């Protein structure tokens, strides 16, 4: 009974705050089949919020795995036009997009990496229209999570299945600020508005400094400097679409982030958490940068997956995002490693290999790929966050006249 109430609050939060469904709009929902009960609730809430229609795109990792194991490589090199059109059509017609994720961090471990790579490239190319409309700020989107047994067991290996899943639910609800007191589930909207103000305040502060570079140091061995392009913009919390609707691309979200210059990263960064990439775990890894490019990489576990990531395309060796998250963020305070980027990225300062968010540089969403590159923006099939924050992380901002301003000390914001 209580769970039903919380799930309902979560579905409503996804629809109202996440994508802010407006009157007469299409809602496209990507939903794993194991999350179908939640998917149907999201659907109901979307219609209640005024959706013209709700299009469910169900998927199943175990089905995908059978195909990866048995179909030939060339099956993954193209996406049939009819399939791509399902997403492109609704983007063109005006839609919002909800992604529900329920990922087994090792769903595809052992699968031929060439097939995973081919599928990722083909999908990105086939859905170019969809992603272009999204990047231009014309499509509101959000990502939310739903537990599955293999994911929950990865986090809580010693618990029976049902307890592990229940614990993961608790962690998800806490991180999206859905709480319960005396059997009554609180309305998370007020908490999200307050949280949004805090994130926006930090972003504003950094925008006023307009740093030329950030320098990172910690005891893991990170000693790294990244340049920030002229006109970069820090964002945090909600975003506003071109037609003026406020929405949250990620739930949870604790980060403020901006664009790094794709040719200005030097030194070595050590990952502070494992990374789950295409269903493969990469652990204890480091990347050495020169002039923005990864020139050396090591991983204790999953080095081949890391190599595959870096070799995807030219842009996968360059950075597309810099994000600051205090070590005392509520998600880190849960003390859980989620093995999922949606959560782990919100527990730690991170960088992303690959594609930048064009809107994180002034006017960037209106630029061609070449123009964006000349401003320092990176392009790639990939956008993969990896975590670098630690309890002893120091981040220093360098102003245009070379002044050094402390931004992070002992893993947290100085201001």
Binding site for Zn ion (CB under 5 A): 255, 257, 321, 323, 352, 385
For Zn ion, the closer CB: 38 or 339: 339
Q: Cβ of residue 48: shortest distance to Zn ion, in angstroms?
A: 31
For Zn ion, the closer CB: 130 or 235: 235
First vs last C-alpha separation in the chain: 43
Residue 90 structure tokens: 């609704």
For Zn ion, the closer CB: 234 or 257: 257
Q: For residue 391, give the H/E element and its range.
A: none
Q: Cβ of residue 160: shortest distance to Zn ion, in angstroms?
A: 34
For Zn ion, the closer CB: 55 or 337: 337
Phi, psi dihedrals of residue 277, rounded to the nearest 5°: -120, 120
For Zn ion, the closer CB: 302 or 354: 354
Q: Cβ of residue 32: shortest distance to Zn ion, in angstroms?
A: 21
Query: What string of DSSP letters covers 57-76?
Result: EEE-HHHHHHHHHHS-GGGG
For Zn ion, the closer CB: 39 or 274: 274
223 beta partners: 217, 268
Q: Cβ of residue 388: shortest distance to Zn ion, in angstroms?
A: 12
For Zn ion, the closer CB: 103 or 321: 321
Count, residues in the chain: 415
Q: Cβ of residue 113: shortest distance to Zn ion, in angstroms?
A: 22
- For residue 368, is the peptide bond before it cis, meaning its omega torsion is within 30 degrees of 0? no
Picking from 247, 267, 277, 415, the residue whose alpha carbon sits closest to that of residue 345 is 277
Residue 293 structure tokens: 């490019």
For Zn ion, the closer CB: 34 or 323: 323
Could you give the CA distance from residue 179 to residue 360 in angstroms, rounded to a whole number?
33
| DSSP state letter for 340 | S
Could you give the CA distance from residue 11 to residue 28 in angstroms, rounded to a whole number?
14
Can you list the positions of beta strands (E) in 95-252? 95-101, 141-145, 180-181, 184-185, 213-217, 223-227, 235-236, 239-240, 246-247
Residue with tokens 């990952």: 271
Residues 6+ apart with CB under 8 A from 101: 32, 143, 144, 145, 146, 340, 342
What count of Cα atoms within 13 Å lies in the side-chain half-sphere of residue 53?
A: 5
Q: Cβ of residue 163: shortest distance to Zn ion, in angstroms?
A: 31
For Zn ion, the closer CB: 321 or 344: 321
Q: Cβ of residue 157: shortest distance to Zn ion, in angstroms?
A: 27
């Amino acid at each position: 009974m209580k769970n039903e109430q919380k799930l309902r609050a979560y579905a409503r939060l996804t629809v109202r705050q996440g994508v802010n469904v407006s009157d007469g709009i299409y809602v496209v929902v990507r939903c794993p089949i194991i999350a179908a009960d939640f998917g149907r609730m999201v659907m109901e809430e979307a219609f209640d919020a005024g959706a013209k229609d709700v299009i469910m795109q169900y998927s199943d990792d175990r089905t995908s795995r059978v195909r990866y194991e048995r179909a030939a490589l060339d099956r993954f090199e193209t996406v049939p036009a009819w399939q791509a059109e399902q997403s492109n059509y609704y983007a063109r017609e005006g839609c919002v997009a909800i992604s529900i994720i329920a990922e087994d961090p090792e769903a595809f471990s052992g699968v031929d990496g060439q097939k995973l790579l081919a599928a990722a490239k083909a999908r990105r190319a086939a859905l170019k229209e969809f992603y272009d409309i999204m990047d231009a700020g014309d499509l509101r989107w959000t990502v939310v999570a739903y537990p599955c047994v293999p994911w929950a067991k990865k986090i809580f290996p010693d618990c029976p299945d049902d307890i592990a899943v229940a614990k993961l639910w608790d962690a998800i609800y806490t991180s999206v600020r859905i709480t319960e007191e005396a059997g009554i589930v609180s309305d998370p909207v007020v908490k999200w508005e307050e949280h949004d103000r805090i994130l926006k305040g930090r972003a504003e502060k950094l925008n006023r400094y307009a740093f030329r570079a950030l320098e990172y140091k910690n005891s893991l061995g990170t000693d790294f400097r990244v340049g920030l392009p002229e006109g970069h913009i820090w964002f945090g919390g909600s975003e506003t679409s071109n037609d003026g609707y406020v929405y949250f691309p990620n739930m949870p979200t604790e980060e403020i982030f901006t664009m790094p210059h794709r040719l200005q990263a030097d030194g070595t960064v050590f990952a502070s958490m494992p990374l789950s990439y295409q269903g493969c775990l990469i652990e204890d890894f480091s990347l050495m940068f020169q002039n923005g490019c990864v020139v050396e990489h090591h991983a204790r576990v999953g080095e081949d997956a890391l190599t595959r990531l870096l070799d995807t395309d030219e842009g996968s060796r360059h950075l597309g995002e810099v994000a600051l998250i205090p070590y005392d963020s509520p998600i880190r305070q849960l003390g859980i490693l989620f093995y999922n980027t949606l959560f782990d990225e919100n527990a730690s300062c991170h960088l992303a290999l690959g594609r930048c968010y064009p809107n994180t540089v002034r006017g960037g969403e209106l630029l061609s790929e070449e123009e964006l590159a000349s401003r320092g923006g990176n392009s790639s099939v990939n956008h993969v966050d990896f975590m670098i924050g630690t309890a002893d992380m120091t981040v220093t901002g360098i102003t245009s006249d070379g002044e050094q301003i402390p931004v992070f000390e002992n893993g947290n914001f100085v201001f």
